[in-house]
Structure 1
Amino acid sequence: MTETLTSQRKAPSQKRAQTTVKRVLEGTLQLLKEQGADAITTRNISKITGVSPGSIYQYFGNKEQILFTLYGERLKDSVGIFKLVSTKENLALPLADFWALLGQALVDVGWGRVEDVELTKAIAESPLVKEAVKPILDELYDGLIYIMRSYGSTWPEEDLKHLAEYAFGINHFGYNLRIRQSGQAADKTLVLTREIEYYLICKAVNETPP
């Protein structure tokens, strides 16, 4: 079943087909934003995009494959940021400076929108999609593990992966909370989330946090 989700039924080679796929993906995000995860059905995606169910099924076998494509793209953006920022020069910076640099770069990816929160909820409710995104999540965890190793962590690999998963969970909890807040409350949640993540990283590399 994972193989079904990780590859589209038909690759959109022509411009018209590519436009159709883009409409389906963007329409699904709009539906998530306006009506939430529970509204994601092929019929509702068809209504909001104007793309017939038959055309949708040409490129996506089911709604789970659409969700996987959207979530996978978002995760791959984050993996790309980790690789882009984790240069030899940047990793020579003090940990606090590097962490601030990485944090700002991840903000630019745009995580934290209403549709992202609902997308995450939809993923959590689908065992098939959760299983399919594991390899991409592992790339994300590996990126964080690489950073901790670069700053001298001697923890066992299993412990570092556990910490990476936990830090990612804290990040998700933080933006799930922030999206329902506003003003100073949202700002405080962001600060606390970053402080907790940084504390954990410092612990793994035997560095005392400020």
Structure 2
Amino acid sequence: MLKAEIKRRHKAFGLPKPEPRPASWRSTKICEWFEEAAVHRQLERDATSSNWTGKDPYLRLIHCIVDDSIKESFRNDIQPGRMSIENRNREKTVWEAIADLWNDPGFAPVTEGGLAELHFDFIPSIAVPYEKVSSMNPATPQFVQNKITGMVTSLTRIISNWERSGQGDGGFHEDGAIELGVSSLRAAK
């Protein structure tokens, strides 16, 4: 029974290979494995319990994307001069640069406040220092790429649905008149 549990836990917790073969293990080795696996379970639990939640990690990610040093990585700028080209080994990918900046404790972006015309959430400035996100999963290049791809996909879907709703032009007509909905006509009476 315990031997089957060892295999189950190894697979469930994604422990490193090789997979254990406890068929011929003595009870002392089985007990040792369970004690060692308990440490792995706690590490696994710690790693998965700190998912990105709330707006702070995403605001920090967006600030990383629009940072000037990252913009250069997107454009793949190469400094002029033969020596700089020959002396560079391999430049960081955009995803590595974003992950490094997101994980940098010295990077403390602040959103611009006072945008009440957009939404009341944008009235105050929002600071996103590293301390707010330090307990969450750190950004890795692959994780950053997946998050940005997911954000772009969601935003594309939202914009498409919004345009199909009839508000794609923002409710304005060519002559500059605002389209009035039924609820606004009732309120005017």
Fold-level similarity (TM above 0.5)? no
The one of the two structures with greater contact order (alpha-carbon pairs below 8 A, sep at least 6) is 1
Structure-2-length-normalised TM-score: 0.24
Structure with larger Rg: 2
Structure-1-length-normalised TM-score: 0.23
Structure with bigger helix share is 1
